[in-house]
Structure 1
Amino acid sequence: MKKEEKIRLGISIGDLNGIGSEVALKTFEDPRMLDFCTPVIFASVKILSFLKKQYTLNMNFNGIDNTSQILDGKVNVINVWKEGVDINFGEENSTIGAYAIKSLKAATAALKNDEIDVLVTAPINKHSIQSEDFNFPGHTDYLDQELEGNSLMFMITDTLKVGLLTDHVAVKDIADTITPELIQKKVDTIYTALKQDFGISKPKIAVLGINPHSGDNGVIGKEDEEVLKPTIKKINESGKLVYGPYAADSFFGSDSYKSFDAVVAAYHDQGLIPFKTLSFGKGVNYTAGLNKVRTSPDHGTAFEIAGKNKADNESFKEAVFAALKIFKNRQEYLELTANPLKKQPRKPQFKGNKEKQ
């Protein structure tokens, strides 16, 4: 009988002047990681060999030119480019940004073509990636265009999951951006993700207010009374367990979040400040709502420590395990819903991380 293949985990290398390559390589320096998946890094053997020496890592690469040459049990590196690249750690550089996008585009194409199964993206610098060929605020917006579905930034740990109604939107535009249609769409995306990607049969979701104190019955803004409350009521009438709006200032400090499977924040900082305060270094940025699985660590390029061999790879490792678990859960959910009387084995497989179970 043919041995089942491991999950192929693609990695886009991110900004080479930042810590992305460091945390990715440190994660797969541990040979035990190869028991869980087959890593495929989209970059170049030449640049990763340089970085391996920079961080004094003990590992070897299987340099390849296309996905047909991927080998299980190896750290595979697809040569997206072969020329040398000048790295200046800690500096913002548009040329380096262009290589980050080359890596991302190649990895995304492989994901779309089922040549890899999941994608973990190393951090990019949102300013240096901008060009005529790439005009997106970041990974999420690009992947939303390339992959089917409705993307949603979903910050996750085992005990805390925070989704956003608006992500990279200016504060002055938040209230006008949040409409009943947007709320419905984002809550539906989170609800579906909790069921199919995290195995929660009847999710319970909290929604945070837009204004301070959720508007104080209209005294501090009308949006909570006129937009959030009626929309939440309508969603509840459809059978979903969605509650709110809750005042954001006390919601996390009072541990109210522990009573819910997910929390929906109105805007970026309202959700990410408490999430990173409670989970920094262990959290994962998951793009929910797409037809493929993409995760990322919960930190940025960290230019201030780049190249100094000081970066902690815990969040990147968590992003790897999250991608593998979500892939497995989604496959099992889709198989079960397609044929509820018979749960068939799938290919490839993920045995799981016993330390995380």
Structure 2
Amino acid sequence: MFIDTAEIHVRGGDGGNGCVAFRREKFVPRGGPSGGDGGHGGSVFAVADPALNTLYHLRHQKSFRAERGEHGMGSNRHGRSGGDVVVPLPLGSVVRDAETGEPIADLLAAGERVLLAKGGNGGWGNQHFATPARQAPKFAKPGLPGEERQLAIELKLLADVAIIGFPNAGKSTLISAISAAKPKIADYPFTTLVPHLGVVAGDDSRTLVVADIPGLIAGAHRGAGLGIRFLKHVERCRLLCHLVDASGSGDAENDVEVLEKELREFSPEVAARPRVLVASKIDAVSDPDRPASIARAAASRGLPFYEISAVTHRGLEPLTHYFFDSVSREPSAAGRS
């Protein structure tokens, strides 16, 4: 199951209390203070795990609490510090404070480690409070509580190319033809209900990641269809591959304009991202003027244009070569919100 939002509670471990103790040894009737310090509480960290691609593992585990530090002991023995807790998150996870909205982490690199909740410091034992005027302090410092917060986590997929288009435009068929991804494919709208990622291998050992974004319709930025829930997954992509169904009928200008408007309404920055216009299902054309109208729409916008059939693999090689050439010229997704 694809889950791209989650809310969790994290708490660092409390620090252990300092100890009140005195030396009690033979022939030392008035031993000085010997209370040890409390151990520090463990902290909670988020770590980017490339093996994950969804937040499903947080569906049932909502709370993460680090271990508290042990209390100090006599004979100047310090308490053991509490163990840390790690929350694994997929690449592209954005972590915010659920109450204030303050950004805490944006995990873009495998193994990246970010502090979510710091453990409390351990308290001082009474040995620290001895002075010439107070040689037998009967008090110690308690440990501090660990940091506690409620966090909202949002996953924005990291992909080089986002395949966008109306429902049933052939997006899933394309990603299954150029990669090893196997999304559900059927001849009805909204077959794809969640994004799929596929890795495309180039001729020179290069690879790129392609995302199949569920179909968009007019009003998607306001929540129509599957809404903006999945539009956010195109924010980090370097190239937009806009598929237009060539097997339909009529002028394609309106179809292209509707999707462009949805992108602009959602994010002008995303709408300005490099884009290639692709006429899909070219093997099933029923209206000869349809592919020509898609080509005209691309020309009027100064966009690259390709005709493909994912079923017969016609035109796929030139398109994937364009993907690699275009992505190599664009900055990486790192730093994009």
Same fold? TM cut 0.5: no
| Structure with more helix by fraction | 1
Give 1 or 2: higher strand fraction.
Answer: 2
**TM, length-normalised to structure 1:** 0.28
Give the structure-2-normalised TM-score: 0.29
